[in-house]
Chain A
Amino acid sequence: MADALMLRPDRELIREVTQNSGGELKKCFQCATCSSVCSLSTEARPFPRQQVLKAQWGMTDQLIGDPSIWLCHDCGDCTARCPRGARPSAVMDAIRMATIRRLAFPRFMGNMVGRQENGAIMFVLSALILLAIAILPAIRSEVRPLVFAQMFPKDRLEPLFFAVSAYVVLALTIGALRFVKALRASGADGPILPALVPVLIEIIRHRRFASCGAGHVRRWGHLLVLSGFLGLALMGTTVGIGSLLGLMDTPIPTLNPLKIFANLCALLLVIGVSLLFWNRITNPEKRAGSSYCDWYFLALVGSVGLTGFLSEMLRLAQNPDWMFSVYYIHLSLVLTLFLCTPYSKFVHFLYRTLAMAATWRENQSPGQALVGARGSEITSA
């Protein structure tokens, strides 16, 4: 018994996971149906039963670096089959949220963004920052055509967003370093960098979503949101750098290929978010297991897309009464999304990718590795 384990139950984690997973955490009686029906869990990493147990016992340290938390793609197969109604997929989701909070840099930001009662703070903060750099008389500007730069001059807006981006990258980097350290401590020791290429290909193909039993709505919804978002991020960065260097001028004409591409991406984003909303609302188990963090992120991404469209329409209509205020809201939402990136559900893009990479080697032939001989003895690992 040299390896005796000292348990210090993290009651905050138990409370947090219980609350964010729909309140049924204690119902789990460890039958392991969930791990068995899961199409993503593997021989060496069966989940989510073990993770549900660790959450019940408040074993935060064992959960933070557990890659299985992120290997789960939240399809809900386990929840549908759970004989106890313990909602294992929602528990996994709640553990992910708790992990994000605990990996956050700086930590108080993680606690602030992750709490429902603080939901509006980041938006108000973003709105105040933008208000501080805005030129308000622009709203009554007589100069035609009306452009957003009359209210938010490029030389103020762009430094702000580049500064915020730098902060976000710093926070993400520190979060990633903390996470990799935790991954290594938990025994997920696969090489990360070489695995990134196959992992990214797998992510683009959305293969793991496809193997889940939850249907195509989620797979397509997520794929559309991801591609729309990547396209918009690429365009935003290109135009930002381009105009900063004086190579481009905004607004870009509507029929410019870049603008057409951006509008297409925004359309994909909005359709994708609608599909994901639909999926959460129509599936009763999914709805019950959806936490504040799920709705917050989905609503934020969706409203960024919608207000962006609306701003563009109002600008094209040259509507002086509404275009500036809607654009102001749009910019505030974009800034909120930026600031929340390392602390909201958004950061799953980073942690899940890292977890998939760190376990890539061990999953090379899932399924085949599982099959033992006819009724063979289990060889203990």
Chain B
Amino acid sequence: MVNLDTGNEEGDAILVVGGGIAGVTSAIEAAEAGCQVVLVEKSAYLGGHVAAFHRYFPKLCPPPCGLEIDFRRLQNNPRITVYTLAEVESLNGSPGNYEAVIRIMPRYVTAACTLCGECERVCPVEIPDAFNCGITKTKAIHLPHRMAFPAQYMIDDDACSNDCSLCADTCRYLAIDLKQKETKKTLRVASVVFATGWAPYDAAKIDNLGFGTCANVVTNVMLERMAAPDGPTAGRIVRPSDGKAPRAVAFVQCAGSRDRNHLPYCSGVCCTASLKQAGYIHSQYPEAKISMFYIDLRTPGHLEDFASKAIAANGIELIKGKVGKVQEQPVSRDLLVTAEDVLGGRKIAREYDIVVLAVGIVPQSAGLPGCVALDEFGFASTNGGPGVLAAGCVKRPAEVAVSIRDATGAALKAMQSVAGRANHG
């Protein structure tokens, strides 16, 4: 029998790459089962995309709630070491015995930070706030977002002019260390879980749908931020061009998805996500007209039930027919949406105040080691042998609940590798 509690010496740890919902889940599940875990996250905070969402489907509860529970479990667990602003530089070895080199970028702000915000006030460099999809601005020194974990400010290395020290001079807690340098750490681990997640498809590449050229065309990811109370509009969904309340909103499904010119596959979650987001609109503006243009409404499994309820509750008009053109009216900046209403057999052009592009999921698999095979679309199609595992959206497009289950399974597989080493060692 293997006693996992004895496997705590160096070398028996599990390395989890990616601190989104999948990576955090794998780390916590393995650590709570008694394994040592190192969690490495590229950005300055944990929680990934889920931290930016307003509501989960189908339960429609706010993600920060679940994340807070996860962060508490993580904080209370002495077996987990977290590195943010960190990436895996190399990985060598065999199952049960890997050597990973991780590179940790300087944060320039230490744990002494009290989030007082004085530094941000004096910082002269303004940059687009990435967490809010660039809708609002932030400073080169900033807290990634209000609920950020770890709750520490950071300096964006690329944005900072590097020739001023106003922030450090202002900080009365001496929490800013502008002399921090990039560091490297070599870890010996028994197995690795890659939960590197996804990115939304770049909507600007879909040049017929107006993103980037028409002010009131937004993506589904942006709408999540606009709906969130801590978002750029304090939760009010308004037209980006003039801040006015929308009277008609169109959801354009398969924006770049199931399209050989963009993403040839179906991301499987965007239809349900749009139905969920229609609920945001309806609850704020019960009179607003909501249309959803789709090829096929794909709400698999139990989501079918969620879909039919959402359609009825939010008064969504469903139009079968993919949108081929979105044009901005010159003065009003209203949007003219052209599609063929397939079931009605007519071509239609309608005006909308906001058009939401339901963009798909792009796997973030570029940094995966060669032993993990990728499919034609870049998703991890196999694990890299028993010791290198993939979990979450880097494996396939998935909703949060599915990612969590997948990550839990990956944690079990990773622990088996640890156990295998203990068996043979």
Residues of A within 8 A of B (CB): 29-37, 41-46, 49-50, 81, 83-85, 367, 370-378, 380-381
**Chain B 250-285 near chain A by CB (<8 Å), digits 1 or 0:** 100010001111100000000000000000000000
CA distance A197 to B350 in the complex (A): 33
- 26 A–B contacts from the bound complex (CB under 8 Å): A30-B295, A30-B342, A31-B295, A31-B321, A32-B320, A32-B321, A32-B342, A35-B321, A36-B338, A36-B339, A37-B325, A43-B347, A45-B347, A46-B340, A50-B345, A83-B262, A84-B260, A371-B349, A374-B352, A375-B247, A375-B350, A375-B351, A378-B341, A378-B346, A378-B348, A381-B344
CA distance A134 to B148 in the complex (A): 94
Assess whether A35 is in contact with B347, with CB atoms less than 8 Å apart.
Answer: yes
Which residues from chain B contact A46 at a C-beta distance below 8 Å? Answer: 340, 345-347
Q: Interface residues of B: mostly helix, strand, loop or mixed?
A: strand
CA distance A372 to B334 in the complex (A): 13
CA distance A310 to B320 in the complex (A): 57
CA distance A31 to B289 in the complex (A): 23
A77 — nearest CB in chain B belongs to which residue?
Answer: B324
Assess whether A381 is in contact with B345, with CB atoms less than 8 Å apart.
Answer: yes
Assess whether B351 is in contact with A373, with CB atoms less than 8 Å apart.
Answer: yes
CA distance A32 to B323 in the complex (A): 8
CA distance A356 to B258 in the complex (A): 34
CA distance A367 to B290 in the complex (A): 23
CA distance A35 to B324 in the complex (A): 8
CA distance A44 to B345 in the complex (A): 8
Assess whether A43 is in contact with B346, with CB atoms less than 8 Å apart.
Answer: yes
Assess whether B340 is in contact with A374, with CB atoms less than 8 Å apart.
Answer: no
CA distance A46 to B324 in the complex (A): 13
- Nearest CB in chain B: distance from A16 CB, A: 25
Which residues from chain A contact B258 at a C-beta distance below 8 Å? Answer: 29, 31, 83
Which residues from chain A contact B321 at a C-beta distance below 8 Å? Answer: 31-32, 35-36
B317 — nearest CB in chain A belongs to which residue?
Answer: A377
CA distance A50 to B340 in the complex (A): 10
- Nearest CB in chain A: distance from B55 CB, A: 23
CA distance A32 to B248 in the complex (A): 22
Not counting A34-B324, A374-B247, a sample of 8 additional A-B residue pairs whose C-beta atoms are within 8 angstroms of each other reads A30-B295, A32-B339, A33-B324, A83-B259, A373-B350, A374-B352, A375-B247, A375-B250
Assess whether A378 is in contact with B319, with CB atoms less than 8 Å apart.
Answer: yes
CA distance A375 to B353 in the complex (A): 9
B351 — nearest CB in chain A belongs to which residue?
Answer: A374
Assess whether A41 is in contact with B347, with CB atoms less than 8 Å apart.
Answer: yes
Which residues from chain B contact A45 at a C-beta distance below 8 Å? Answer: 347
Assess whether A375 is in contact with B338, with CB atoms less than 8 Å apart.
Answer: no
CA distance A96 to B26 in the complex (A): 59
Assess whether A42 is in contact with B349, with CB atoms less than 8 Å apart.
Answer: no
Which residues from chain A contact B260 at a C-beta distance below 8 Å? Answer: 83-85
B257 — nearest CB in chain A belongs to which residue?
Answer: A83
Which residues from chain A contact B324 at a C-beta distance below 8 Å? Answer: 32-37, 81
B97 at the interface (CB under 8 A from A): no
Assess whether A370 is in contact with B295, with CB atoms less than 8 Å apart.
Answer: no
B178 at the interface (CB under 8 A from A): no
Which residues from chain B contact A376 at a C-beta distance below 8 Å? Answer: 289, 350
A32-B342, A36-B324 given as contacts; is B347 within 8 A of A372 (CB)? no
Assess whether A36 is in contact with B340, with CB atoms less than 8 Å apart.
Answer: yes
B187 at the interface (CB under 8 A from A): no
- Nearest CB in chain A: distance from B374 CB, A: 22
Assess whether A36 is in contact with B347, with CB atoms less than 8 Å apart.
Answer: yes
B291 at the interface (CB under 8 A from A): yes
Which residues from chain B contact A380 at a C-beta distance below 8 Å? Answer: 344
Most buried by B among A34, A37, A84: A37
Chain B contacts with A in 283-304, Cβ cutoff 8 A? 289-291, 295
**Contacting residue for A374 out of B261, B320, B342, B350, CB 8 A:** B350
CA distance A39 to B15 in the complex (A): 55
A84 — nearest CB in chain B belongs to which residue?
Answer: B260
Which residues from chain A contact B347 at a C-beta distance below 8 Å? Answer: 35-36, 41-46, 370
**Contacting residue for A83 out of B247, B261, B320, B336, CB 8 A:** B261
Interchain residue pairs A-B with the least CB separation, the first 5 = A36-B324, A375-B248, A83-B259, A375-B289, A37-B324
- Nearest CB in chain B: distance from A365 CB, A: 13
